[in-house]
Amino acid sequence: MKLTERDSRMLEAVHAFDGVLGDYQIRRLFFTGERQARLRLSLLFQHGYLAKPSRMQRAGLPCMVYWLAKRGAAHVAGLHGQTLREFAYRREPRWAQIAHDLGVNDFRMDVMEACAENQDISLEQWIPEGEFWAHPDKVEYKQANGTKSRRLVRPDGFFVIRKGKQQSRLLLEIDCATEDNPRFAREKVRPGVAYLRSAAYKQRFGYQSGRWLVVTTGERRLRNMKRQTELAVGKDAQVFWFTIADKITPQNVLTAPIWLRGGDERPSALLPNSHRIFGL
């Protein structure tokens, strides 16, 4: 099999999207027709460039997913000027988190398309979750009872959007309704606020401005999470912006009022009203 330029870009994309892409996501990125995509993915699988789940594994998944097989990893490693032994890549999906990982990919693609469709907006950087798992930051913060806690902070992604002279630094949290609200406040909200103010954050990114974007599953859960956030951190809830996954499209994710900011009751758009948080 002779790899085409598109094949190489597909393999690179699988790696760049934290190692796993759904079949529909690969079609979205690289194909206009379903049949063409299916045939090409089949060839890449048959020749050892991509791996996919067994029939038994597939039964519990929302869609067919692909990740790099050894030959595909070697190809991408070569593109990065590395040997396969040097190259760090995901050898298998996190089976219990596939729905979550697909949700992160969907959001990232919506942002990419939004920027591609608007000449005034650009996606300057995207750091995937895997980078934070490999090199996490630790923060210290106070719990509701005043005791000090420490926690590793691992957002589902960090990205920078530029509109004119303004930059928005955004940290992503995809919520698949697996955590109760008190746990969300304890394990995400308090550490999230502390992270934006921490020396670790400034050392990593060079700034201490940012917003957390929380994408959840429904209106009731959004309201509960927003309320718990406001109770947990008061005015600092303003750094958390909430929306529902089903509302998001490339046309509205950045510029339409589909987000509820902590402390506010009226929906807002992420842009062009981006601004620096905490006045730093």
181 within 8 A of 225, measured Cβ to Cβ: yes
The pLDDT of residue 279 is 32
pLDDT tens-digit map of 148-161: 999 999 999 999 99
Q: How far apart are CA 229 and CA 184, in angstroms?
A: 8
pLDDT tens-digit map of 177-202: 866 666 888 889 999 999 999 999 99
The pLDDT of residue 277 is 39
Higher-pLDDT residue of 229 and 164 is 229
| 215 phi/psi in degrees, rounded to 5 | -110, 120
Structural domains in the chain, sorted by start:
5-93 (1.10.10.10), 98-279 (no CATH)
The pLDDT of residue 274 is 41
**Which of 268-273's residues contact partners 24+ apart within 8 Å by CB, and which partners?**
268/241, 270/161, 270/168, 270/170, 270/211, 270/213, 270/241, 271/121, 271/161, 271/163, 271/168, 272/163, 272/164, 272/166
Q: 81-120 burial string, b = 16+ CB within 10 Å, else e?
A: eeeeeebebbeebeeebbebbbbbbbbbbbbbbbbeeeee
169 within 8 A of 129, measured Cβ to Cβ: no
The pLDDT of residue 180 is 62
For residue 4, CA distances in Å to 10, 11, 17, 43, 94 come to 10, 11, 20, 12, 29
For residue 18, CA distances in Å to 14, 173, 188, 225, 229 come to 7, 15, 21, 27, 28
| Strand 211-216, strand 240-244: pairing | parallel
pLDDT tens-digit map of 44-69: 999 999 999 999 999 989 999 999 99
Name the pLDDT band for 261 (thresholds 50, 70, 90).
Answer: very high
Tell me the two tokens of residue 62: 């929302």
